[in-house]
């Protein structure tokens, strides 16, 4: 990974597919930038003005600044020609030539499965996230859960992975080290602290126009052997992730929902139209992905010892009565703590498996 790799992603008029084609032809960004314009035109389909632009190396000054930005913020940048680049991503027809990563780069090379779905998840969707992650964690030793850190199903899958000791990768549609949505910055820090990673293709000069979310979804699909749509209505970004996965010849799975639940219309349609395999358990996922051919038959992994709760977290737990959902505003009134002080305590209780976050932002004791 060097300045040539980043420069290629900053060249005006060169998108991800053109960059992938150029790397395929020349083998590396170094070889591309060493070639004269006439050779670039002869060996590729790009026009002469664009080839001349490459030989002038006008993007390299910006690329040098980008490398300094990466170093300043303790990020890792990897190119598609680097050993560390996730092998499955190389198989995409539109791979990001450079990925920017906060955290454990090796997490991207584990046995990845993506889990996506609606922002307006139901209690059923939340339960199925927990069930699938736990059952997969018990059977697949090198598992990694990939999702998009968005509200709803995405963040709940990340939380479940953290709860059951599984590395998780969050693909975001923004420049690192920032996190979008901002309320999930604490989750992002926990993902990195527990062996996972935050990933983006956005460089520091990327201007958010809304298009990055669709591009982010293709990376989620491209990193994974299979994509599970846990719960999705008829119009959902999760369905675009499924479309990308199908386009990359990856396996798509969906959790069935009730026929009358609009939040499941999209995921049910995937199953009905035979675009997704129906999965109801971790064992179903293992069978559909054919992981049972090389995952040893073992008993459930011993549960990780529950972390010791802080005194403040124990006190907060006493305010949440078993079986009753309580709002954050109620807890503010009960404890005299503000929302900012409550947030890390609620996360501590979630990760310890003591409470469960419900749709709408309320909590109940497990």
Q: What is the pLDDT of residues 245-296, one digit of tens each?
A: 999 999 999 999 999 999 999 999 999 999 999 999 999 999 999 998 765 5
Contact 20, 97 (CB under 8 A): yes
**Alpha-carbon torsion 165, 343, 220, 18, what sign?**
negative
Distance CA 171, CA 168 (A): 10
Contact 157, 129 (CB under 8 A): yes
Of the options 3.40.50.2000, 3.30.1330.10, 3.40.109.10, 3.40.50.450, the CATH number for the domain spanning 105-293: 3.40.50.450
Distance CA 327, CA 363 (A): 6
Residue with the bigger pLDDT between 136 and 362: it is 136
Token pair recorded at residue 280: 């109801």
DSSP bridge partners of 79: 98
**CATH code for the part of the protein at 311-365:** 1.10.10.10
pLDDT higher than 70, residue 87: yes
pLDDT higher than 80, residue 29: yes
Question: How much of the chain is helix, strand and coil, in % rounded to 5?
Answer: 50, 15, 40
Distances (CA, A) of 53 to 14, 19, 61, 203, 244: 11, 14, 14, 21, 32
Token pair recorded at residue 314: 């124990």
For 196-292, strand residue ranges (E) read 197-200, 226-231, 251-254, 277-278
User: What b-and-e string marks burial along 96-114, b requiring 16 or more CB atoms within 10 Å of the CB?
Assistant: bbbbbbbbbbebbbbbbbb
Q: How confident is the model at residue 303 (pLDDT cuts 50, 70, 90)?
A: very low
The answer for residues whose C-beta is within 8 angstroms of residue 230's C-beta and 6 or more apart is 115, 116, 117, 121, 125, 128, 129, 132, 153, 157, 254, 255, 267
Token pair 């999209």 is at which residue? 266
Is the pTM for the entire model greater than 0.85?
no
Distances (CA, A) of 240 to 133, 227, 229, 245, 273: 22, 11, 10, 9, 15
Token pair recorded at residue 324: 């009753």
The answer for residues whose C-beta is within 8 angstroms of residue 67's C-beta and 6 or more apart is 3, 6, 77
Token pair recorded at residue 176: 């690192």
Residues of the chain with CATH 3.40.50.450: 105-293
Q: What is the pLDDT of residue 316?
A: 83
Residues of the chain with CATH 1.10.10.10: 311-365
pLDDT higher than 90, residue 124: yes
**Alpha-carbon torsion 325, 331, 334, 335, what sign?**
positive
Lowest mean pLDDT among 172-176, 285-289, 345-349: 345-349
DSSP bridge partners of 112: 144
Contact 115, 221 (CB under 8 A): no
- Mean pLDDT value of segment 193-211: 90
Please state the three-class secondary structure of 99-115 as a single string. EEEEECHHHHHCEEEEE
SS3 (DSSP) at 338: coil
Helices (H) and strands (E) in the chain, counts: 17, 11
Contact 206, 233 (CB under 8 A): no
């Amino acid at each position: 990974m060097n300045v040539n790799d980043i420069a290629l992603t900053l060249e005006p008029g060169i998108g991800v597919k053109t960059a992938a084609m150029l790397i395929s032809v020349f083998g590396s960004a170094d070889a591309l930038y060493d070639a004269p314009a006439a050779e670039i035109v002869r060996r590729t389909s790009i026009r002469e003005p664009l080839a001349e632009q490459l030989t002038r190396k006008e993007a390299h000054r910006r690329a040098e600044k980008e490398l300094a930005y990466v170093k300043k913020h303790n990020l890792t940048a990897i190119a598609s020609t680097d050993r560390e680049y996730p092998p499955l991503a190389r198989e995409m027809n539109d791979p990001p030539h450079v990925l920017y990563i906060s955290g454990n780069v090796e997490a991207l090379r584990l046995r990845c499965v993506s889990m996506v779905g609606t922002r307006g998840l139901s209690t059923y969707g939340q339960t199925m996230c927990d069930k699938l992650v736990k059952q997969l964690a018990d059977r697949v030793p090198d598992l990694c859960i990939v999702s998009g850190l968005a509200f709803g199903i995405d963040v709940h899958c990340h939380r479940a992975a953290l709860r059951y000791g599984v590395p998780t990768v969050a693909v975001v549609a923004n420049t690192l080290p920032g996190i979008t949505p901002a309320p999930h910055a604490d989750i992002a820090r926990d993902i990195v602290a527990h062996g996972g990673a935050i990933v983006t293709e956005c460089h520091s000069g990327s201007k958010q126009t809304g298009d990055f979310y669709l591009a982010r979804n293709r990376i989620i699909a491209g990193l994974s052997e299979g994509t599970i749509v846990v719960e999705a209505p008829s119009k959902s970004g999760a369905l675009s992730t499924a479309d990308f996965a199908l386009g990359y010849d990856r396996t798509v799975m969906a959790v069935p929902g009730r026929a009358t639940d609009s939040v499941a219309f999209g995921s049910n349609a995937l199953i009905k139209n035979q675009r997704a395999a129906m999965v109801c358990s971790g064992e179903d996922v293992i069978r559909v992905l054919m992981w049972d051919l090389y995952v040893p038959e073992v008993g459930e992994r011993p549960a990780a010892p529950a972390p010791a709760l802080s005194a403040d977290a124990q006190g907060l737990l006493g305010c949440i009565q078993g079986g009753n959902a309580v709002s954050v505003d109620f807890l503010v009134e009960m404890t005299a703590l503000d929302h900012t002080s409550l947030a890390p305590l609620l996360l501590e209780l979630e990760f310890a498996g003591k409470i469960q976050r419900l749709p709408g932002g309320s909590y109940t004791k497990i």
